[in-house]
Amino acid sequence: MRTVVEASRAIPVIAEPDVLVVGGGPAGIGAAVGAARSGARTMLIERYGFVGGNLTIAMVNPMFTFHDVNGKQVIRGVAGEVVNRLVQATASPGHVTDLTFDNASMTPFDPEGMKLVLLDMLEEAGVELLLHSTFSDVLKENGTITTVVIENKSGRQAICPKYVIDCSADADVIACAGAPFVKGRESDGAMQPVTLFYRIGGVDIPELKAWMKANRRLLKDAPADEEIDAQSALALLGMKEIIKEAMEKGEYPEDAAPRILMYELPREGQFAVNCTRLQGIDGTNARDLTRAEIETRRQAWGVAEFLRKRVGGFERSYVLDTGVQVGVRETRHIIGDYTMTEEDVLNSRAFEDGIACGTFAIDIHPPEGEQQIFTGSGKAVYEIPYRSLLPQGLDNVWAAGRCISATHHAFGSVRVMATAMAVGQGAGTAAALAAAEGATNRRVDVKRVRAALLAQGQYLLGEVIEDVGDDALKLRRKEGSGSHASHHNPFAAES
């Protein structure tokens, strides 16, 4: 490859915070709020003009999942506060049941309301926010990152933090610093496909309910009339057979997901659609991302046309908007001091250094082929260990979000937004304690981190904590069939 040599130049230092959070997605929100509320001078940089990451930028909806199958809420803290504020702002109905019977609960929200709620929380916590700023480079001495270089409209700038939390989703900071990482599946590096979420408006809900009742055999687990009518937010999953037929006739995008999955939003007649899919994309490669943005937008319009023709209630529907960027499920995983495994997830493992809980299914959209692994959410409640946030060879850095140390299968559960926010809160709280004591990331007393998280309202295993839950969210069908949705569970016998 042809190269050029860039002239050396002096870069102005614009900030010297205790804690720098890189990336304003769910993990970054949890990390920044957690660190600032714990007393650290905290700065958050984000490349877009608003925060939220997959919540707002990629428009992924709803949030999964805060509850186990018994309706007990196991993700609380900052993530739980976000939901409470959304409800107060009439931007979410709160936690509701999921008609696909795959999740103990789901939490739909309005992405515009989410943007404001998150900005308010950052501002109230005292976080210094710098938008329109992209991570570019690091300087380090021995195992310590001393400088983070960013680019924005003001030019090339430097931030000299004491500690860094990499919430870039792709472990950009950690990879740039030379710490080890892996990509994707252990056997071949294959990664989950990307999806462009989008919103459809103009849906006639009574007509859609009538169509679902008349065509229940096409939907996952054939919901009864009473189950459809009881939903405060509809979810639609299935139609595998008629999509196959439509694909053969050229009436459905051939690379899109071979099933329909969508969720009703808080605004009347609006649905979030999770149907586009493109395999073979590396989310750290700009050319791959460019192709994905183009192809998935074409798919979105194709799926929308299919819905207008084939599903009742969608006759007058329209594409309201698409995500600012395609949603990327998987790229780099750091190699941490501990790598989470699928056994940890399926067996509800607790850790002495656990800093957050998860209860989402092992959910792996196929790197190739059609069959999607889905184990069902809420059946297991497990902890994420602090050691999985610690990149090897770096003493003042944490990872948070989907780039933590986990196998391809375990990652299929820990990657979702509610869990990522909880992990971010754990990292931010630990970084604030490190800053107060001048300690390295591995010298932080994790017992104190856990105690601080409990005081912040977080839920952890093995602790005496008041139960918070909702009997209405108990999962009534714990063993469903994925035959109409291209789902299968290879771990069923083991678990």
pLDDT-derived band at 486 (thresholds 50, 70, 90) equals confident
List pLDDT tens digits, range 249-263. Answer: 999 999 999 999 999
The rounded percent of the chain whose pLDDT value lies above 70 is: 99
List pLDDT tens digits, range 163-192. Answer: 999 999 999 999 999 999 999 999 999 999
> Residue 421 in 3-state DSSP?
helix
Q: What residues have CB less than 8 Å from 417, skipping those under 6 apart?
A: 25, 26, 53, 54, 55, 60, 63, 64
pLDDT (mean) for 422-446? 98
Provide the b/e sequence for 58-76 (b: ≥16 CB within 10 Å): bbbbbbbbbbbbebbbbbb
The rounded percent of the chain whose pLDDT value lies above 90 is: 94
pLDDT at 495: 44
The distance of Cα 141 from the centroid of its chain, to the nearest Å, equals 32
Give the integer Cα–Cα distance in Å for 395 and 353: 18
pLDDT (mean) for 109-134? 98
Count how many Cα atoms sit within 13 Å of the Cα of residue 243 in the half-sphere of its side chain. Answer: 25
pLDDT at 12: 98
List pLDDT tens digits, range 466-485. Answer: 999 899 999 887 666 777 78
- Phi, psi (degrees; rounded to nearest 5) at 419: -65, -40
pLDDT at 493: 58
pLDDT at 479: 66
- Angstrom CA distances, 337 to 17, 23, 24, 448, stand at 26, 23, 25, 19
Give the integer Cα–Cα distance in Å for 53 and 324: 10
Task: Decide: 364 and 372 in contact? Cβ < 8 Å.
Answer: yes
Q: Is the pLDDT of residue 490 over 60?
A: yes
Residue in the structure block whose two tokens are 């006639």: 204
pLDDT-derived band at 330 (thresholds 50, 70, 90) equals very high
Report residue 475 as tokens.
């999962």
Q: Is the pLDDT of residue 134 over 90?
A: yes
Report residue 253 as tokens.
């995008």
Q: Is the pLDDT of residue 144 over 70?
A: yes
List pLDDT tens digits, range 357-380. Answer: 999 999 999 999 988 999 989 999
Indicate the average pLDDT of the chain: 96
Peptide bond into 490 cis (omega under 30): no
Q: Is the pLDDT of residue 403 over 60?
A: yes
